[in-house]
Amino acid sequence: MKRFLYNLSRFGAIQAAILCTLLVLYPGQDNTYLAATIDKHDVAASAPGQRLLLVGGSSVSFGVDSQALHNALGLQPVNLGLHAGLGLDFMLNEARDLMRPGDVVLLNLEYQHLLADATDLTIMQLLEYRPESVEYLTWSQRKRLLDCGLVYLRKVIGKAVKSRKRDHQPGYAREEFNSYGDVIGHHDSRSLYVDSGPVAEWGAIDARHVESAIDKLNAFAEECRQQEIQIFYAQPAIAEDVYEACRESIDHLDRAVSSRVRIPMLNHATEVVYPAELFYDTPYHLLLEGKRRKTALIISRLGGKLPSASDRLAGPPPQRN
């Protein structure tokens, strides 16, 4: 018993030290990229009329032109995309919390969400800005994150050091999102993308995880249908060099989604493979011209599937009481 109490006290002291260090080194600046989660929830709560919830990681925040979607479809876009490291469970649970009858949901997930659990320590940083988002974590995620205190502390210290050494890169601040939740601060930037070749974690397919992800997507789709919410799936835009290097894995995932996910697909993987010059700094982050190309494809495929699209285009979206 004494040994247990001794170990417990040591554990508590370590956690207290971590907390104090975090408070000193990392006071939770509210202008950072992930702090935009606050604004995205505000947009979701205040958006009038029929909403289009865009669900995914940073490929969504950097990947669509919501103003063009609104103009063409008459829907009120809410771009929920932030970071792939939040994981599939988080993204689906967040959408569950925000969606309401009559909405349209567009899933535009990164490929890694089908290959493995993409959850990383990004969640801990996001929770600094919006602690109530902890409800979107599964119990297994919560347990795993509780074991990562020291790892996260090292990441915070490293980030604090780096922030003193380099200038801010356009696109990665809270004020660089527009009123729909799209990142627009990088629109005038040149491409910083360097061909990255094979993505190591995409080299092998874990059939069990793919099956698990598909089950989650089908369960989410059924919930949408029960609430009279239309749901669609679009594959993410990807840089040509990454597609060529990981063609077998990406094509496998594309076939799995199109054949086993019970959600209408708007496009296949090969339709959104774009040249490197259309990407900003990663094989998922599009520059403005790339966003326009991808958005035009979404509009062309989605418009005909919305039964009341012509009515919405005839005038402003109806206001909700």
Those residues with Cβ within 8 angstroms of residue 253's Cβ, 6 or more apart along the chain or in another chain: 111, 114, 115, 205, 210, 269
CA 247/CA 256 separation, integer angstroms: 14
User: Given this model, what pLDDT does residue 312 score?
Assistant: 47
What are the tens digits of pLDDT across the range 121-133? 899 889 999 999 9
CA 270/CA 261 separation, integer angstroms: 18
What are the tens digits of pLDDT across the range 32-60? 999 999 999 999 999 999 999 999 999 99
Burial class from Cβ neighbours inside 10 Å (0-12, 13-18, 19+) for residue 96 reads middle
Q: What residues in the chain have per-residue pLDDT under 70? A: 1-29, 146-167, 196-198, 200-201, 203, 308-321
CA 137/CA 123 separation, integer angstroms: 9
Domain spans, the chain: 32-161+191-306
Domain 32-161+191-306 architecture: 3-Layer(aba) Sandwich (3.40)
User: Given this model, what pLDDT does residue 242 score?
Assistant: 93
User: Given this model, what pLDDT does residue 84 score?
Assistant: 94
User: Given this model, what pLDDT does residue 237 score?
Assistant: 98
User: Given this model, what pLDDT does residue 46 score?
Assistant: 96
User: Given this model, what pLDDT does residue 5 score?
Assistant: 56
